[in-house]
Amino acid sequence: MSKAKYPLKLPLSIKKAAQRLAKEDGVSLNQWIAAAVAEKVGVVETAADFFKKRAGKATGAGLMKFLRTAPKLAPEPEDTIRQPQPKAPPKRSLEGAPCRFQIIAMGSATRHEQVCNA
């Protein structure tokens, strides 16, 4: 097996977790990281092969033909896409009004004060 050096920068929290898990497994941090990377590579490559085999010679046209045979039913409530709620209209300015209330923040306390135009 050939080996290559690769300087790896990890966030400290991830490195500490990896060190803890390597110690629990009784292996060095380097061995543990190499095994973790190998496992991830295997999972990704296996998934890619699975989907390639599963797709076979499928085409978009074949998918559309299949979807056209689906019953014309409304989706279940939990499957619907929620539409964004319309934004509230902008608040009108109180300029020119004889009096208005103003909220004044003072540290963690607030007070309301009536302000009147002269």
According to DSSP, the residues that pair with 100 across neighbouring strands are 115
> What pLDDT is stored for residue 37 in this prediction?
93
Q: Are 39 and 29 in contact (CB under 8 A)?
A: no
Between 42 and 113, residue with greater pLDDT: 42
The identity of residue 13, as a single letter, is: S
pTM of the model: 0.45
What is the residue whose two structure tokens read 């499957």?
A: 79
The more confident residue out of 62 and 25 is 25
Dihedral sign for Cα atoms in the order 10, 11, 14, 17:
positive
Q: Is-contact 22 32, C-beta < 8 A?
A: yes
Q: Does residue 85 have a pLDDT over 70?
A: yes
What is the pLDDT of the chain when averaged over all its residues? 81
Using pLDDT thresholds of 50, 70 and 90, give the confidence band for residue 34: very high
